[in-house]
């Protein structure tokens, strides 16, 4: 029975949104009239393109709740209906309404999820589709929740490691701007007509240049901020910026480690769900977000299909550490490939955490030292002429 969404006026005089199931639009109207509901708008949810954007955290929480209810023995439609009631008034509500309507219309859960590619990626949909064949949907969603949780943890570690240095860099910029545009110009008259120390000349010249170029510097600053904002929200620009960062010596290795964690964690989860190796690699490759390594994995899929051992396809590549093919080779001999892939992901996840912790602990004192050096240099440039008493006397 199709679902219809209606907007009505409550007893308190406020607009409320809710849903009703009916055989047709006319049937929905009659049901609402019998309930004495003052309907303002009524429309079908079937085939409607929903404009819903969920964060990774929202998807994780929803996946966990569906998995728990399914493992508790509830049928899929009852699970989605229960969550639809729980999330009324929230942004997840419309998505759940659409999933309920799609499942009720006879579509599988994976087909219903595929209607929302902006929320559920190909890996998510593939794992659900495979679990529907084996009858282990609840377990697959539990594994997906664990996978999403790991991905979020890596992202949080990266953000937390970069946040404090970024804030400290911004504070340094504010202090430097205050010195160049306000503090130093106010001291200029004090040393007018006197012979200045070279340090003082440098600081006054920098301040003079900054003050004379206020318009240009302001435009440049706004342009940089606008470009950074545009790059953050524009997918093509974001990809170009990411591709450029992959060429930098330090970031190249770091992003390769992040891609390894994503790939091996996803591949291990797919293999645990009884997906064939080639398909598991193909699906896991799409979540790497590393063009170079995606090409390597695509080549590996072809070589494996031709009968080459898995570990051989990972050898002799500058971005792939020797540990990876060695561990995969041991797993092939012991028949424990999913377990070993989980271990590889865990190893590089821990390595990433150590790298980020080391970066954060190193960046903080370096930035503080830089800030102290700038302030110290300005103070020294101001105090040095004051030590020359004779220059004040002759003035």
pLDDT at 238: 67
Q: Write the pLDDT tens digit of every residue in 185-210.
A: 887 777 776 677 787 788 888 888 88
Average pLDDT over residues 241-251: 74
Which strands form 38-44's sheet, in the order they lie side by side? 15-21, 3-9, 38-44
- CATH class of the region 56-147: mainly alpha
Q: Write the pLDDT tens digit of every residue in 286-321.
A: 888 888 888 889 998 999 988 888 888 888 888 888
Every domain of the chain and the residues it spans: 3-44, 56-147, 157-395
pLDDT at 365: 84
Q: Write the pLDDT tens digit of every residue in 8-21.
A: 777 677 777 776 66
More confident residue, 354 or 243: 354
pLDDT at 392: 44
Distances (CA, A) of 189 to 181, 195, 386, 390: 15, 13, 13, 18
Distances (CA, A) of 297 to 19, 103, 285: 46, 35, 7
pLDDT at 30: 80
Q: Write the pLDDT tens digit of every residue in 52-89.
A: 778 889 999 999 999 999 998 889 989 998 898 888 77
Domain 56-147 in the same topology as domain 3-44: no
HSE-up (13 A, CA, CB side) for residue 306: 9
The SS3 call for residue 5 is strand
Report d(CA 391, CA 385) in Å as an integer.
8
Confidence of residue 232 (pLDDT cuts 50, 70, 90): low
Report d(CA 68, CA 262) in Å as an integer.
24
| Among the listed residues 84, 66, 79, 73, the one whose alpha carbon sits nearest the alpha carbon of residue 21 | 84
pLDDT at 395: 46
Q: Which CATH architecture has domain 157-395?
A: Up-down Bundle (1.20)
Cβ neighbors of 292 (< 8 A, separation 6 or more) are: 246, 319
Confidence of residue 259 (pLDDT cuts 50, 70, 90): confident
Confidence of residue 97 (pLDDT cuts 50, 70, 90): confident
The verdict on domain 3-44 having CATH code 3.30.160 is no
pLDDT at 48: 56
Average pLDDT over residues 233-253: 73
């Amino acid at each position: 029975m199709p679902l219809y969404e209606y907007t009505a006026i409550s007893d308190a005089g406020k607009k409320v949104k809710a849903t009703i199931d009916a055989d047709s639009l006319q049937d929905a109207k009659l049901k609402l009239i019998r309930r004495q509901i003052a309907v303002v708008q009524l429309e079908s949810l079937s085939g409607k393109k929903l404009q819903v954007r969920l964060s990774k955290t929202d998807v994780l929480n929803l996946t966990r709740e569906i998995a728990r209810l399914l493992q508790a023995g509830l049928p899929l439609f009852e699970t989605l209906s229960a969550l639809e009631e729980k999330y009324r008034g929230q942004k997840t509500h419309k998505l759940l309404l659409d999933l309920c309507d799609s499942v009720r219309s006879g579509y599988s859960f994976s087909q219903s999820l595929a209607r929302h590619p902006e929320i559920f990626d190909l890996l998510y949909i593939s794992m659900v589709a495979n679990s529907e064949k084996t009858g282990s949907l609840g377990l697959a969603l539990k594994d997906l929740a664990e996978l999403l949780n790991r991905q979020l943890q890596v992202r949080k570690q990266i953000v937390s490691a970069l946040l404090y240095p970024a804030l400290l860099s911004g504070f340094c910029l504010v202090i430097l701007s205050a010195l160049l545009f306000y503090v130093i110009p106010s001291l200029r008259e004090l040393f007018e007509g006197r012979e200045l120390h070279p340090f003082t000349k440098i600081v006054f010249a920098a301040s003079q240049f900054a003050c004379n170029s206020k318009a240009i510097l302001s435009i440049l600053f706004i342009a940089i901020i606008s470009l950074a904002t545009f790059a953050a929200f524009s997918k093509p620009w974001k990809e170009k910026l990411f591709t450029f960062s992959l060429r930098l010596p330090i970031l190249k290795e770091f992003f390769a480690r992040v891609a390894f964690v994503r790939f091996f964690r996803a591949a291990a989860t797919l293999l645990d769900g009884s997906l064939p190796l080639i398909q598991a690699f193909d699906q896991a490759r799409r979540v790497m977000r590393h063009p170079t390594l995606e090409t390597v994995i695509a080549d590996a899929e072809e070589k494996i299909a031709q009968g080459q051992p898995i570990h051989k396809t990972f050898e002799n590549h500058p971005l792939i550490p020797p540990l990876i093919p060695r561990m995969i080779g041991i797993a092939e001999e012991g028949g424990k490939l999913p377990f070993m892939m989980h271990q590889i992901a865990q190893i590089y996840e821990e390595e990433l955490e150590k790298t980020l912790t080391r970066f954060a602990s190193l960046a903080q004192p370096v930035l503080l030292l830089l800030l102290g050096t700038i302030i110290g240099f300005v103070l020294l440039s101001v105090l040095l002429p004051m030590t020359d008493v004779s220059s004040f006397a002759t003035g």
